[in-house]
Structure 1
Amino acid sequence: MNIVYIVVGLLLLVLGGNWLLKAAVGLSLRLNIPKVVIGMTVVSFATSAPELIVSIKSALNGATGLAVGNVVGSNIANLGLVLGITVLLSTIDVEKSFYKTDWPVMMLASGLLYFFIAFDNTIQQYEGIILFTMLVVFLVYLLKFQKTAVVDEMPEDDEELALYKVVLFLVIGGVALWGGSELLIKGAVALAENLGVSDAIIGVTVVSVGTSVPELAASIIAVMKKEKAISLGNLIGSNVFNILAVLGITAMITPIELKENALSLVNNDIYWMLGISFAVLPLVFFPRKLRLNWKDGIVLLVAYVVFVYLKLS
């Protein structure tokens, strides 16, 4: 049965990523908005839904460490694992707006998260309001001023859709991604437990990677369909959403206080998140300016593997 969950989960992820991509491209054409903006807003919000659900449920149940750990682990996985795999599959040419807007906002959000929890181990309700307000400002800026951050290889292949089709693909794509990730996590956790794998290994691998699976599915399908703007925008946007929306909304509902058994998040994991987030910028410029290729993918994947290894040792 666990194998069935995993197979059906993967199938839903592929279908969901495809439907979400169709909706994103259709919306971009209808509203005449750069695809990277759609990737950083609509697609990011849809693929961040699992993190939002997990974090709010965790915080309300008193498992506040899981709420923050889920976001920090997911952000590390998004860049180390998902972006690493994505650029291994295909080179991404990056435009100037990446380092002028997208990356600085991701670093600012990451820095704010560190500042809010480093000293008192708590994200207060007013800090949640600050995070969410920053998200609103960022979205308004994106919609008004953002230019394309990634070169579109095949704009002539884009298909304009009726508005009801855009909404339909958006909803069923988002639900399929969420349902697929749930089934995949459920099957993988049960299978790992049956094989005698420890909770620590399951937590670091299956759960943190599991909530990044929608981003992985959406990004790989976007790259295969030559929609690289949506792919990179989805990952950067998802990290921004995870901090500003997921933790912002969760903290507004109830303060997120890290208990003693979750302090490794402040003492260790958040530095990994800051480090990998920062590392994307020099990788964009080296070895070749404004391009992410397979060499950068290897660097990101190795960093992620080292992170997981150190967590388990």
Structure 2
Amino acid sequence: MSILYVVIGLVLLVVGGEFLVRSSVALSFRLKLSKMVIGLTVVSFATSAPELLVSIQAALDGLSDISLGNVVGSNIANIGLVLGITAIIGPLAIDRDFYKFNWPVMVLLSFALYALLNDGVLSQIEGLVLFVSLLLYLFLLIRRARKFSDTMLEEVDDSLQKTSNFKIFMWLLIGGCALYFGSELLVKGAEDIALKLGVSEGVIAVTLIAVGTSVPELAASVIAALKQEKAISLGNLIGSNIFNIASVLGITSMIQPIAVKDETLMSVNIYWMLGFALVLLPLAFIPKKMVLTRPKGLLIFVSYVIFIALVFLK
């Protein structure tokens, strides 16, 4: 039954996330926001909603290990699993913005999270600091996007400009309900599985939940790579990691301070997150510059498999 809860929860989160993205974009068009702003902010916030709801639900239930493990695990999975498998299927080109802007911000926020968690709790003030840093990042991101106006925002669907108010309302309602009930079921299922397996909620969060919330990105990337279309960009994945820390944990801790209960999170898992973040830079330049080749993808993926194995062996 616990597995069923997790599966249904993940499905509801995916469905809810999709409806929320569509309704948010349609509403943004109604509010006369530019496509650039919608693509860089509204879509990003909406797509991080499933992780946010899971983290908030877990924190309110006193399961802070799930809140933190979800984010740390997702950030590891985005690089080790999604990026690794995508690069194995087909080499990925790396744009210059990667090391000039996105990567430094991700690394900075990753180390900031490590520093903030060292005292054993992510307080409301610290959450506010993270969220403000996200707003600053978005401000700089929009400025850069305007400077390099040739940037294509493919994720913004023009057809949503003609969406009726009734449809927007219904999509918001469906999305909100699906996200709420999906997060409830996922957290409950994860807690039950942890009890049955005799492991901490943090272990389930950093593996099962993290992989589950990364499935949409993984599926989209694999399909695109197999069709030899443009796969998910490195910038998008790094942006997702930035949002996970600054938005998901920032907002969650502003609502409910998050305590570090699982010692493994700070003694092991967060170092894996930092390692996966840091290794991207040398991989971008060695040996073939600005291309994530198949061997590099295999190296990243094997590292992720080792991480998962070590999590359960401890």
TM category (shorter chain) comes to: 0.7 to 0.9
**1:83 is the counterpart of 2:86:** no
CA spacing shift, 1:109–1:140, aligned 2, 3 Å: same
1:206-253: CA deviation from partner (whole Å, max 9, x where unpaired): 863434444442354256443436x43332111111110111111111
Give matches, 1:209-248, under 5 Å. 209-221=208-220, 224-225=223-224, 226-228=229-231, 231-248=233-250
Give the counterpart letter for 2:124 in structure 1. Answer: Q
* Distance in 2 between residues matched to 1:58 and 1:7, nearest whole Å: 17
Query: For structure 1, which segment, 15-24 or 106-115, has the greater mean C-alpha deviation from structure 2 after superposition?
Result: 15-24
Give the counterpart letter for 2:255 in structure 1. Answer: I
TM-score w.r.t. length of structure 2: 0.74
Aligned residues: 300
TM-score w.r.t. length of structure 1: 0.74
* Distance in 1 between residues matched to 2:311 and 2:200, nearest whole Å: 9
* Distance in 2 between residues matched to 1:129 and 1:276, nearest whole Å: 26
Q: Secondary structure at the match of 1:95?
A: coil
Q: Secondary structure at the match of 1:228?
A: coil
Contact 1:215 1:234 in 2 (8 A): no
Contact 1:12 1:176 in 2 (8 A): yes
Please state how far the C-alpha of 1:142 moved relative to its aligned partner: 1.0
Contact 1:20 1:173 in 2 (8 A): yes
* Distance in 2 between residues matched to 1:128 and 1:173, nearest whole Å: 25
Give the counterpart letter for 1:163 in structure 2. Answer: Q
Contact 2:48 2:244 in 1 (8 A): yes
Give the counterpart letter for 1:243 in structure 2. Answer: I
* Distance in 2 between residues matched to 1:178 and 1:223, nearest whole Å: 28
CA spacing shift, 1:55–1:159, aligned 2, 3 Å: closer
Partner of 1:93: 93
1:80-134: CA deviation from partner (whole Å, max 9, x where unpaired): 111111222232211111111111111111011001012x111121111110000
Contact 1:71 1:243 in 2 (8 A): yes
* Distance in 1 between residues matched to 2:264 and 2:10, nearest whole Å: 32
Give the counterpart letter for 1:84 in structure 2. Answer: G
Contact 2:90 2:294 in 1 (8 A): yes
* Distance in 2 between residues matched to 1:249 and 1:75, nearest whole Å: 17
* Distance in 1 between residues matched to 2:101 and 2:271, nearest whole Å: 22
Contact 2:85 2:222 in 1 (8 A): no
Query: For structure 1, which segment, 95-104 or 284-293, has the greater mean C-alpha deviation from structure 2 after superposition?
Result: 284-293
Partner of 1:254: 256
**1:144 is the counterpart of 2:138:** no
* Distance in 1 between residues matched to 2:252 and 2:206, nearest whole Å: 19
Give the counterpart letter for 2:125 in structure 1. Answer: Y
Contact 1:82 1:215 in 2 (8 A): yes
* Distance in 2 between residues matched to 1:188 and 1:122, nearest whole Å: 22
Gapped regions of structure 1 (runs ≥ 5): none
CA spacing shift, 1:110–1:100, aligned 2, 3 Å: same
* Distance in 2 between residues matched to 1:89 and 1:221, nearest whole Å: 13
Give the counterpart letter for 2:121 in structure 1. Answer: T
Contact 2:110 2:245 in 1 (8 A): yes
Q: Secondary structure at the match of 1:200?
A: coil
Give the counterpart letter for 2:239 in structure 1. Answer: G
1:171-191: CA deviation from partner (whole Å, max 9, x where unpaired): 68998899889989999999x
Contact 1:74 1:209 in 2 (8 A): no
Query: For structure 1, which segment, 281-290 or 43-52, has the greater mean C-alpha deviation from structure 2 after superposition?
Result: 43-52
Give the counterpart letter for 2:161 in structure 1. Answer: L
Contact 1:21 1:218 in 2 (8 A): no
Structure 1 vs Structure 2 CA RMSD? 4.3
Contact 2:95 2:290 in 1 (8 A): yes
CA spacing shift, 1:207–1:112, aligned 2, 3 Å: closer
Give matches, 1:1-313, under 5 Å. 31=34, 33=36, 38=39, 41-118=41-118, 120-146=119-145, 160-165=158-163, 198-200=197-199, 204=203, 208-221=207-220, 224-225=223-224, 226-228=229-231, 231-259=233-261, 262-313=262-313
Give the counterpart letter for 2:131 in structure 1. Answer: F
